[in-house]
Structure 1
Amino acid sequence: MAAAAPGGQEKVIAAAQHIVKSLANSKNAADDMIRILSGFDDRLSLMSDLFPPPPNDAAGGGARESILEDEGDLGEEPGRDGGRRDEERDAEVEEAVRVVEHWDSPPAVDKLVFDSAEDAGDYLAAAACLVGAPDARAEAALQVAMTRLEEEFRHLLIRGMSPLAGEDLHASLLRRLSLTVPSFSSSASDLDCPSFASHAGEGDESGGAGGRTSVSDEEISPYLITPDTVDALKDIADVMLRAGYAPELCQVYGEVRRDTLMECLVVLGIDKMSLEEVQRVEWSVLDGKMKKWIHALKVVVRGLLAEERRICSQIFAADADAEEDCFTVAAKGCVLQLLNFGDAIAIGRRSSEKLFRILGMYEALAEVLPELEGLFSAEASYFIKEEAEGILMRLGDAVRGTVAEFANAIQGETSRRALPGGEIHPLTRYVMNYVRLLADYSRSLNHLLEDSDAELENGGDNVNMTPLGHCVLILITHLQAKIEEKTMLYEDEALQNIFLMNNLLYIVQKVKDSELKTLLGDNWIRTRRAQIRRYSTGYLRSSWTRVLACLKDDGLPQTMGSSSALKASLKERFKNFNLAFEELYKTQTTWRVVDPQLRDDLKISISDKVLPAYRSFVGRFRGQLEGGRSSAKFIKYTTEDLENHVLDFFEGRRPNA
């Protein structure tokens, strides 16, 4: 092919440069074009020196210069500038390789680059420079750099969490992240019934059911990763992600952070337990674990995982997919361990003493579920939501089943020991404290029990009762029936009435002084108070009818012409009165009416009936016995003596005291 005219050489080269510029998005395209053009004119084979490699956005250290800096300078020795840029690029890569090889050499291989901010900056710049470099030596150095950065990333993750180590973590988390959770025993310290499972006390705890835990960033951040460390991790992640090492990066992050979060669970008292282990553990131990679970769930979701998510978004800001993968790997195991314990409780054996802990777990999980779901996205979010909602449903089933179990336990209580003095039965204390605590969970229980209304018989007191109100009414009705059944343990009818008054008044007071009053209503309280008054009347009739009969005129001989017979009858009457009163005094001073007001009311009722009758009887017939050798033997007591003796009734004195 003929060569181009000398005068047109510059025009040909300029046109070729323009064509190559338009097509040179890659080095291969430029080379192909030069090869084609040189086939037309061998002078064009020298054009390769005029064009530097194309820009590569993946390279570190900032954007490269464009292939052609100024179209207007095409004729001003472009080959010289392009060559200089190639030389500079080669020098940069060579220096980057040298930096990487230096840290891979024996004197430095065991040292940490990120112990020095200056060394860290140089190494990151070198690694970034090697990204996209074409020659084999640069690629090998890049692999070495990625391995080094992966290990440095792991070390920074671990070192940045130094406050989490050992006893410091335990003390700090428990001190700074302390929560208040509902406590069963703290509100029912006198739950005491031999036929029911015993419940160990834990000390008083306030806060109520479903209390929200607020954990600030200042409380959480220092126990995960320090801010300076987060910045360094982000710098490493930026380079590794641009180099295509996202899987390796996520594996390191996920492993380290997963272990850290699991360590936090242990510190918060959440051990990994199988279903069989949960079933075997003693209640006193399990109760503590359930309490800690409620505590830990809120700390983990609102504190640890929320902060973990924030840290992930900072470190992996350059890649949303990497951020999601890293968080899921780090957090999923921690969440599943919490959920697995909740599931083991939900499907475990049901017993009355577990109810309030299960309710606490139900409310805690229901409360944090939206936040827990929001921490994850895509498939992980759906999986976590499905798991948590399933456990929430089973916890709800456990609550309903446990309430039914409690009702059966009341009806099946079989203790046969009569309490001395007719005091409040332990069953009454246990059930009423238990029932009173149900009101603390009214919102959850109304929801959980609303489908059980058909199974609850209507007590007739209030057809507009809530589901929980119906449930409470049935439980108390079962209790009253059981208490009435236990009156048969007492042979003395008067003591039966004292026993019924003690227990029913205790029930009424527990209702009146709590949220149970709202559930059952004023009419229920008025009805039971009227019942207590009937028991009081029954007591007076059964105890004092025989005493008062001694003070009546009925059956006495007429005074006219029958003085001796009247005296004999009066002696017998006073003798019988004294014996009857003394017998009641000996017995009923050992009985105990627990409520002070009821005790005083009964004493007043006795005095109102006995003292006026005695005063009148003595006043009418004292003259018939005065002057005899033994008048004082029959009229032993003054009215004031009897009044003082009545004050000793129902105090629960020990015999012979």
Structure 2
Amino acid sequence: MAAAPPGGQEKVIAAAQHIVKSLANSKNAADDMIRILSGFDDRLSLMSDLFPPPPPTAVREAAVVEEEEDGEEGPDGDARDEERDAEVEEAARVVERWDSPAEGDRVVFDSAEDAGEYLNAAACLVRATGARAEAALQAAMARLEDEFRHLLIRGMSPLAGEDLHASLLRRLSLTVPSFASSASDLDCPSFASHAGEGDEAGGAGGRTSVSEEEISPYLISPDTVGSLRDIADVMLRAGYAPELCQVYGEVRRDTLMECLAVLGVDKMSLEEVQRVEWGVLDGKMKKWIQALKVVVRGLLAEEHRICGQIFAADAQAEEDCFTEAAKGCVLQLLNFGDAIAIGKRSSEKLFRILGMYEALDEVLPELKGLFSGEARDFIKEEAEGILVRLGDAVRGTVAEFANAIQGETSRRPLPGGEIHPLTRYVMNYVRLLADYSRSLNQLLVDWDTELENGGDNVNMTPLGHCVLILITHLQTKIEEKSKLYEDEALQNIFLMNNLLYIVQKVKDSELKTLLGDNWIRQRRGQIRRYSTGYLRSSWTKVLACLRDDGLPQTMGSSSALKTALKERFKNFNLAFEELYKTQTTWRVVDPQLREELKISISEKVLPAYRSFVGRFRGQLEGGRNSTRYIKYNPDDLENQVSDFFEGRRPNA
């Protein structure tokens, strides 16, 4: 064969490419043309250079199509075309029949038989070409979109909101922190009263497992999932992923938002959060902590799993649909958390904020794991930012609490020197801090270094150091308030009551670990000093009446001695009776301390009285009105001492 002129080879190749392109829709014709051109000129013998081999999947799909179209080696092509055209025609008639007025409002998927027929017809139209097939396919996609929406709505649990709420919380066995004291315990003008559920509190709770069987009924029933997947498979093959995702996202987003409302998480702006009264806000914060775990570990985890089943044919559609469905309720949860974090700080909010911080910190890895791509990055950035701000709120609230202790200004002394409400409030508050030791040791690093002494704080944790500061502020304030009592003895009773309460709260809780045994020993020594101060200020005057100092010598006038003894006994009786009158109304709260004080009184007074009476009884007995002066025998005094510090009402 003669050589082609310069440039001719390129023209021939270009012409061949044009011919093959125009015949691309006919596989047999294209093959024939390639064989003809390949034999025509050796310049076209390597046609593989023009048409690289298809990928293996394409070869397999082509083989399947060819086998379906051609059957065993000999069927006539025209017959097969007619058969295919008949199938498309029948599929179009199925779709058109369901769009006719005769069908009314009937739902295809109310019948498994009808659903199977319609899905087969739609699948046939996906593979077909031509104007009639295209029109029928669009009608089929519109119908399947409506059916998909209907199934999504119908497939949800019919349980009422209260049942959903109670059942989810019961099955998840959620534990949330709480803080409360009685109204009398918190009767401090500068501290807001805090309503709650009890005097004890738990931590934010550990991880709880949720089975598919427990959560599925509250989302989409398993039977419905299969039908939704069948519809999705056809619509995805037809290229209707955007329409499918829009329907799924709208319906499921509304459903998940309804679940939030059932769980007590309302959509609130920052201004609304700031305006709501504390009692209402406290309840909303508690419900948020519960809802966060229910939503992330229950509802969204199951939503993600169901999305994977329904959209198994398209991973991107699966992620898009889940994101569209879930982002609304996640953002509403995060927005409430952010409003709390940046809102006004006050002492009573601390434990709810800590509960929110720990709950978010706990579920954050799972929350991030539910999303992918840009959605994951966005959720991660938002949630981590809120976590940081909640941590800032914790630190700021602890500082606010310390300032509130120092700024407490009540001037009303408590009757009987009892435990001050400030002491009860602060120690209940501080004791609960230990329940959040893991988080607070992270958040309170370098919180305050103003106190470097006052206990074994060399190796003290950040939380321990914080607790030491708060209790030291409390002790200082209690010492100030003791000065409200004019009676020095009552000052000491007040200080003993309050410091012993502080020590017992420390000793009987995790605070003991934070502050150490040496701190407790030092405070017990301080209580003993207060006890000594009480005895000295109360009984020195009484005991002075029972000393020999100042009495006339017995060798002198017996009349002068008797007169002096009468005066001594009279003064003793008056002093003791005055103490009895006042100190039986005082109250030493701790039973053991109360008995120890009574014993101390008896050990000091009774032996002195017994000795004095024994030495001088003879000087007065037999005289007129001797019983006016020696009114008590030692047993009488001991019985009366037993009435001290019981908090009796005057004249009771």
Return the TM-score normalized by structure 2.
Answer: 0.90
Which secondary structure state, in structure 2, belongs to the residue aligned with residue 27 of structure 1? coil
Partners of 2:174 and 2:205 within 8 A in 1: no
Which of 485, 493, 510 does residue 490 from structure 1 map onto? 485
Which of 559, 562, 575 does residue 564 from structure 1 map onto? 559
**Mapped partners of 1:57, 1:593: distance in 2:** 94
Describe how 1:102-251 pairs up with structure 2 within 5 A: 102-164=97-159, 166=161, 168-185=163-180, 190-203=185-198, 207-251=202-246
Q: Does 1:306 align with 2:301?
A: yes
1:48 paired residue number: none
Describe how 1:76-91 pairs up with structure 2 within 5 A: 78=74, 81-91=76-86
After superposition, the C-alpha distances for 1:502-526 in whole angstroms (9 at most, x for unaligned) are 0000000000000000000000000
Q: Does 1:501 align with 2:496?
A: yes
Which of 381, 404, 413 does residue 408 from structure 2 map onto? 413
Which of 579, 591, 611 does residue 596 from structure 1 map onto? 591
AA in 2 matched with 1:461: D
- Shift of residue 451 of structure 1? 3.3
- Shift of residue 454 of structure 1? 4.0
Which of 627, 648, 651 does residue 653 from structure 1 map onto? 648
- Shift of residue 31 of structure 1? 4.8
After superposition, the C-alpha distances for 1:78-136 in whole angstroms (9 at most, x for unaligned) are 5x521221122111111111111111111114210000001000100000000131111
Q: Does 1:469 align with 2:426?
A: no
Partners of 2:307 and 2:321 within 8 A in 1: yes
Which secondary structure state, in structure 2, belongs to the residue aligned with residue 344 of structure 1? helix
**Mapped partners of 2:110, 2:312: distance in 1:** 24
After superposition, the C-alpha distances for 1:19-73 in whole angstroms (9 at most, x for unaligned) are xxx9999424655676899999xxxxxxxxxxxxxx99999xx856266667xx5
2:568 paired residue number: 573
Describe how 1:91-110 pairs up with structure 2 within 5 A: 91-110=86-105
**Mapped partners of 2:451, 2:603: distance in 1:** 45
- Shift of residue 212 of structure 1? 2.6
Change in Cα spacing, 1:276 to 1:616, as seen in structure 2 (3 Å) is same
**Mapped partners of 2:201, 2:184: distance in 1:** 14
After superposition, the C-alpha distances for 1:513-550 in whole angstroms (9 at most, x for unaligned) are 00000000000000000000000000000000000000
2:620 paired residue number: 625
Change in Cα spacing, 1:64 to 1:110, as seen in structure 2 (3 Å) is farther
Unaligned runs of 5+ in 2: 1-19, 39-56
Which secondary structure state, in structure 2, belongs to the residue aligned with residue 450 of structure 1? coil
Which of 354, 361, 375 does residue 356 from structure 2 map onto? 361
AA in 1 matched with 2:139: V
Partners of 1:500 and 1:535 within 8 A in 2: yes
Change in Cα spacing, 1:81 to 1:455, as seen in structure 2 (3 Å) is farther
**Mapped partners of 2:117, 2:232: distance in 1:** 16
Partners of 1:188 and 1:433 within 8 A in 2: no
Q: Does 1:544 align with 2:539?
A: yes
Change in Cα spacing, 1:140 to 1:90, as seen in structure 2 (3 Å) is same
- Shift of residue 179 of structure 1? 1.9
After superposition, the C-alpha distances for 1:330-377 in whole angstroms (9 at most, x for unaligned) are 001110000000000000000000000000000000000000000001
Change in Cα spacing, 1:581 to 1:271, as seen in structure 2 (3 Å) is same
Partners of 1:24 and 1:30 within 8 A in 2: no
- Shift of residue 456 of structure 1? 5.4
Change in Cα spacing, 1:188 to 1:241, as seen in structure 2 (3 Å) is farther
- Shift of residue 639 of structure 1? 0.4
**Mapped partners of 2:368, 2:407: distance in 1:** 43
**Mapped partners of 1:57, 1:420: distance in 2:** 96
1:47 paired residue number: none
**Mapped partners of 2:321, 2:446: distance in 1:** 42
2:44 paired residue number: none
- Shift of residue 480 of structure 1? 0.3
Identity %: 84
AA in 2 matched with 1:448: L
Partners of 2:188 and 2:410 within 8 A in 1: no
Return the TM-score normalized by structure 1.
Answer: 0.89
Q: How many residues align?
A: 615
Worse overlay, 400-409 or 196-205: 196-205
1:65 paired residue number: 67
Change in Cα spacing, 1:308 to 1:58, as seen in structure 2 (3 Å) is farther
AA in 2 matched with 1:140: A
AA in 2 matched with 1:320: A
AA in 1 matched with 2:478: I
**Mapped partners of 1:586, 1:376: distance in 2:** 74
Partners of 1:272 and 1:337 within 8 A in 2: yes
Partners of 2:585 and 2:645 within 8 A in 1: yes
Q: Does 1:27 align with 2:12?
A: no
Describe how 1:313-462 pairs up with structure 2 within 5 A: 313-454=308-449, 457-462=452-457
Which secondary structure state, in structure 2, belongs to the residue aligned with residue 451 of structure 1? coil
Which secondary structure state, in structure 2, belongs to the residue aligned with residue 481 of structure 1? helix
Partners of 1:57 and 1:63 within 8 A in 2: no
The alignment yields a C-alpha RMSD, in angstroms, of 2.6
**Mapped partners of 2:34, 2:536: distance in 1:** 127
AA in 2 matched with 1:198: S
**Mapped partners of 1:360, 1:287: distance in 2:** 11
1:4 paired residue number: none
- Shift of residue 257 of structure 1? 0.4
**Mapped partners of 1:238, 1:57: distance in 2:** 22
Change in Cα spacing, 1:614 to 1:38, as seen in structure 2 (3 Å) is closer
**Mapped partners of 2:450, 2:604: distance in 1:** 48
- Shift of residue 460 of structure 1? 4.4
Partners of 1:457 and 1:474 within 8 A in 2: no
AA in 1 matched with 2:123: A
- Shift of residue 204 of structure 1? 6.8
Describe how 1:243-262 pairs up with structure 2 within 5 A: 243-262=238-257
**Mapped partners of 1:300, 1:525: distance in 2:** 45
AA in 2 matched with 1:604: I
**Mapped partners of 2:235, 2:149: distance in 1:** 13
Change in Cα spacing, 1:507 to 1:362, as seen in structure 2 (3 Å) is same
Which secondary structure state, in structure 2, belongs to the residue aligned with residue 417 of structure 1? coil
**Mapped partners of 2:164, 2:515: distance in 1:** 48
**Mapped partners of 2:167, 2:142: distance in 1:** 35
- Shift of residue 414 of structure 1? 0.2
AA in 2 matched with 1:427: L
**Mapped partners of 1:459, 1:563: distance in 2:** 59
AA in 2 matched with 1:282: E
AA in 2 matched with 1:428: T
1:5 paired residue number: none
